[in-house]
Structure 1
Amino acid sequence: MEHSGTLPALDADQPLSLRVDGHEVAHYVWHSDLPASTAPRPYLHPVRTHAGTTVTDVRPHSHTHQLGISIAAPDIGGRNFWGGRTFVAGHGPAWLDDHGAQHHRRWLHHTESELAHTLDWVDRDGAALLSEQRTVTCRPLTPDAWTLAVQTRLANATDRPLTIRSPAALGRVGAGYGGFFWRGPAITGPVHVQSPAGTGVRAVHGTTAPWLTVSGTSGDAPWTMLFAPADTTTAHDRWFVRARDYLGVGSSLTWDRPLVLAPGEHLQRHILAVVADGILTQDAAAALADAARPPA
């Protein structure tokens, strides 16, 4: 989304505030001094419900490379843009000096409820592997819920085919993560996971369900995160769901087969995250998923 005028300068040391109906609901950290081992990248944190409950975590004790809501990938052209250890076929996770980073390049648009910018995904030597255009939009939905939309266009910036893999493609069964990823907060009490595919992580993980929810309670405040694809291409991506050791949901760019981009070729994805107060029933979740999707 291009902007015809001159955009006001932003302080690189300060996150960009995002608002719904005048109320701050999220911060977009577009520049940070993170260790190389985290695969530094822009991320959303904190993300809050209308009532002010935080529904993201950043650099937690478990998996310190997980950053709120971000776009990350464990293996792009043999480089780790996920952070943490790299999965090595026949060996397992290992600490390697192979981490990439995402660098902000240019703002295209920013308002109190929407931002768009371009980024470069670079290896440790600064060579760009991917160029990206990303849009993040916050929209009102109901008195108790709002919608976060994340759109990305990733293009091969090299002069050779570029392979995108998950650890599942290298033999780690079920580890098909890579793409949009949400790291949930610490909770008190049980976690509820549901979708049209069933109830519980086992029923949802690895499926292409049209929506899924994760519900929990932080302190005394119940909340629900609902995730849904916003276009037919994204609807073919499988869900990665984790609720043991930590809360995490991802929409996977590729599951157990490599995805190869030719030079100049691109891919696009569009994910919706509905941020709601309270524990949603299945019927209420289905209704919110329908209401959040853009018109066909």
Structure 2
Amino acid sequence: MTSDAVEVLRLGDHAVAEYAWRPSLPASLAPRPYLHPVRTLAGTTVTELMPASHRHHLGVSVAVAEVDRHNFWGGRTFIPGHGPAWLDNQGSQQHVRWLRRTPTQLSHTLRWSTIDGDPLLSERREISARLLSPDVWALEFGFTLTNVAGRELPIRSPAAHGRIGAGFGGFFWRAPFVDCRITAETGTGTDAVHGRAARWLSVAGPGWTLVFLGADAATQADRWFVRTRDYLGVGSSLAWEQPLRLEPESVLSRRVITVIADGDLPSGQAAAYADDLAS
């Protein structure tokens, strides 16, 4: 057990996800709340936690490579002209107050602080589960960030520093590393969606399918980060080549819905979920 506080999302008799909201983690991992395990209704786990190759990958979380030079992704920081390096700059996301705790809905506030404890962002996070069919359910994950630092906060990915393709940072899902099929509104295969905006994308593994949907206009405009080499990860990215600059007291919100299915969903069904669930 890596956490001293866990809430369980349930749909009927099914424990579909566990949310570690006050994790006990080393500073090098950029401690933050995460969902793991997330399961299909048949009980198959579709997340990974702290795999050997990337210990800072924590199931489903909000992980940002750089907020004003502070690392909320975990692990090493990308330095232009040098590459990834270990720095003492990992931040953390701490639970502040519960707003709602039910078997299908969790809502709380968080504080994003530097390694020295200085607050940069306040967050309101909402997570919910709903049943779509006997073998399909949906996980909705929304977050709203407010700049409380009193200065502009540039949010960057390594791609903004010149690392081609490394536009990660925002909502991130670490899935089990398996042979999979990537399909999206923009085409088939990783290259058809990585670094692009798409209304939906699906990842089909052995006996399960995940369909990721941008649930509002702002999220739909963000590019997807998709990696199938070395690990399987999907993220909705806040910033790619250019920083996202958050002014003092300004707010950004994002919302992702993930459809979690047993078996293989055809692309037409994935598109139908995008029509039905996303605004």
Correspondence 1:206 to 2:195: yes
Match of 1:273, SS? strand
Contact preservation (8 Å) 1:193, 1:212: yes
After TM superposition, the runs of 4+ consecutive aligned structure 1 residues lying more than 4 A away are: none
Q: 1:91 to 1:101 in 2, by over 3 A?
A: same
Give the match for residue 50 of structure 1. 41
How many Å separate the matches in 1 of 2:258 and 2:45? 14
Question: Helix, strand or coil: the match of 1:202?
Answer: helix
Q: State which of 259, 266, 269 in structure 2 corresponds to 1:281.
A: 266
Task: Identify the residue that residue 234 of structure 1 maps to in structure 2.
Answer: 219
CA distance in structure 2 between the partners assigned to 1:23 and 1:277 by the alignment: 13
Match of 1:170 among 149, 161, 164: 161
Tell me which of 230, 243, 247 is aligned to 1:245: 230
The answer to whether the 8 Å contact 1:242/1:248 transfers is: yes
Could you tell me which amino acid in structure 2 is paired with residue 41 of structure 1? Answer: R
SS in 1 for 2:192: helix
Equivalences for residues 13-28 of structure 1 within 5 A: 13-28=4-19
User: The residue matched to 1:24 in structure 2 has which SS?
Assistant: strand
Match of 2:161, as an amino acid? Answer: L
Give the length in aligned residue pairs. 277
| 2:58 equivalent in structure 1 | 67
Q: Aligned partners of 1:231 and 1:291: how far apart in 2?
A: 12
When the two chains are superposed, the root-mean-square deviation of aligned CA atoms in Å is 1.0
CA contact (8 A) 1:141 1:292 kept: no
Partner AA of 1:233 in structure 2:
A
CA contact (8 A) 1:274 1:292 kept: no
Question: What does the per-residue CA deviation read over 1:191-219, in whole Å, with 9 as the maximum and x for residues that have no partner?
Answer: 100011010001110111100001111xx
Letter in 2 for 1:102: Q
Unaligned runs of 5+ in 2: none
**Contact 2:201–2:213 (Cα < 8 Å) also in 1:** yes
Could you say which residue in structure 1 is the equivalent of 2:204? 215
Q: For residues 243 and 117 of structure 1, what CA distance do their matches in structure 2 show?
A: 32
Residue 23 of structure 1 and its aligned partner are, at CA, apart by 1.7
TM-superposed CA distance for 1:69, in Å, is: 0.3
The one-letter code of the counterpart of 1:165 is R
The aligned residue for residue 185 of structure 1 is: 176
**Structure 1 residues not aligned, in runs of 5+:** 1-11
Determine helix, strand or coil for the equivalent of 1:118: strand
d(CA) in 1 for partners of 2:184, 2:32: 30
Q: Is the 8 A contact 2:142 2:254 kept in 1?
A: yes
Q: Percent identity?
A: 55
For residue 68 of structure 2, what is the amino acid of its counterpart? G
Match of 2:63, as an amino acid? A
Scaled by the length of structure 2, the TM-score of the pair is: 0.97
Offset, 1:291: 3.0
Q: Could you tell me how far apart the structure 2 residues matched to 1:116 and 1:166 are?
A: 27
Query: C-alpha displacement at 1:288, in angstroms?
Result: 2.6
Contact 1:141 / 1:291 at 8 angstroms: preserved in 2?
A: no
CA deviation vs aligned residue, 1:248-294 (integer Å, no higher than 9, x gap): 0000011110111111011000110111111122112212332333x
